[in-house]
Amino acid sequence: MNDSGQIVSVELGSRSYSISIDTGNVAQTGVLLRTWLNLAADRPLKCFVVTDTNVLHPHANAVKKALTATGAEVRVVCVKAGEDSKSLKELSDLYDELVDFKADRKTVVIAIGGGVIGDLAGFLAATYARGLSFVQIPTTLLAMVDSSVGGKTGINHPKGKNLIGAFHQPVGVLIDIDMIATLPDREYCSGLAEVIKYGVIMDAEFFSYLENNIVGLNNRDPDVVAHIVARSCQLKAEVVQEDEFETTGLRAILNYGHTYAHAFEALGGYGALLHGEAVSIGMVCASRLARKLGRITDEDVKRQIELLRAVQLPVDVPETLQNRPDDILNCMLLDKKTVSGDLKFILPDRIGHVETIGGIDSQSVVACLS
Ligand code: NAD
Ligand code: GLY
């Protein structure tokens, strides 16, 4: 199966865009950008590139080279790698840089990095001069399969993650699979949790494909990686097309495992568990909850645990958290899906299909921690 050279379309009327998935296509950044902007080769183009300290060499430099080769004026701003950069202070510094760059309403903001850079640069683009065009060049697996698609942008408030944000769709997403090569193993595996999530929530055949390609997944086989990125983007696009602004409840299915995961991340201290690791354990807890409610079989739970384990993801709630059921419940009450104290969970009724379920007693919720 070869999915390199794929284009996935996100159909959102006047906000529609393409996701270009290939190997080595970073060299085409300038050409692709002008196509997405409908801008002739002889027209001036100002690009403001935001990246982080781990991505600058070689990836952001390659983007800069490709852009300047097509006549663009480019400013690259490099922020410190890590979640702390999704802050008001960092955003404010970037506004200063945009002013200094004499950005105008035609200036394009380009994020090259993981979800941190995508969210930060996306929110910068959403808010500067009431909205600049924005391009995502994701460099982590998580960003390729999730955060770069769908237009959620934002920064953290000291009291809560992603509390300040906006929907701002990119004009295009460029995914160069080769960029995965420099990603640390732990970050790569963390991204696989979101890939497995798509199989459980929407696509049983894709889940089976993952089960049958463990070696390729673990070895980062280029064809396997290209396929899982393309299929995940297609599935996310389907959801976003139906519920762009998260108003019908459909987009919430992307949060399978996340109600537990957000509590684990918050209580464990952000950074102790990577997001995908917390999601992996959260999916196991949610599948146990679905089993407890008689919605799925033991076999459906087992298949998820075995697949997550096979790609080196954790499946057990850390002991330090197992002893804190009340704290976990309190954290869950802050979940965006909670309405009037009624915890809502995304639960499978088979591999490949989920529903949002409320009215679950808290004893059952905490019983699924182990
Ligand atoms: P990240 O951006 O912090 O990247 C993880 C680490 O990998 C960082 O240290 C980064 O510098 C490094 N890195 C990135 N690409 C690399 C490469 N190719 N080679 C070597 N190192 C590389 O984290 P993430 O997991 O990509 O994203 C997490 C963020 O995404 C969170 O802030 C989360 O809130 C956000 N998110 C947003 C959405 C959305 O829809 N907007 C969805 C999911 C997650
Ligand atoms: N990552 C969840 C969403 O985009 O809605």
Question: All domains of the chain, ordered by start, with CATH?
Answer: 6-182 (3.40.50.1970), 185-367 (1.20.1090.10)
The pLDDT value recorded for residue 365 is 94
For the whole prediction, is pTM greater than 0.85? yes
> Encoding tokens for residue 17?
């865009």
Q: Any residues with Cβ below 6 Å from ligand 1, and which?
A: 52, 54-55, 59, 81-83, 86, 113-117, 119, 139-140, 142-143, 146-147, 150, 152, 162, 179, 182-183, 187, 275
CA of 119 to the centre of ligand 1 (A): 9
The pLDDT value recorded for residue 15 is 98
Long-range contacts of 43-47 (CB under 8 A, 24+ apart): 44/71, 44/73, 45/70, 45/71, 45/72, 45/73, 45/106, 45/108, 46/72, 46/73, 46/101, 46/103, 46/104, 46/106, 46/107, 46/108, 47/72, 47/73, 47/74, 47/75, 47/107, 47/108, 47/110
The protein residue with its alpha carbon nearest to ligand 2, atom 4, reads 150
Closest ligand 1 atom number to CA of residue 190 = 25
The pLDDT value recorded for residue 1 is 45
Catalytic residues: 130, 152, 194, 236, 246, 251, 255, 258, 262, 275
Closest ligand 1 atom number to CA of residue 138 = 15
The pLDDT value recorded for residue 160 is 78
Does residue 52 sit in helix, strand or coil?
strand
Closest ligand 2 atom number to CA of residue 254 = 2
CA of 148 to the centre of ligand 2 (A): 10
The answer to whether the CB of 275 is under 6 A from ligand 2 is no
In order along its 370 residues, the chain shows pLDDT tens digits of: 456 689 999 999 999 999 999 999 999 999 999 999 999 999 999 999 999 999 999 999 999 999 999 999 999 999 999 999 999 999 999 999 999 999 999 999 999 999 999 999 999 999 999 999 999 999 999 999 999 999 999 999 887 788 899 999 999 999 999 999 999 999 999 999 999 999 999 999 999 999 999 999 999 999 999 999 999 999 999 999 999 999 999 999 999 999 999 999 888 866 689 999 999 999 999 999 999 999 999 999 999 999 999 999 999 999 889 889 999 998 888 766 667 778 889 999 999 999 999 999 999 999 999 8
Does residue 76 sit in helix, strand or coil?
strand
CA of 367 to the centre of ligand 1 (A): 32
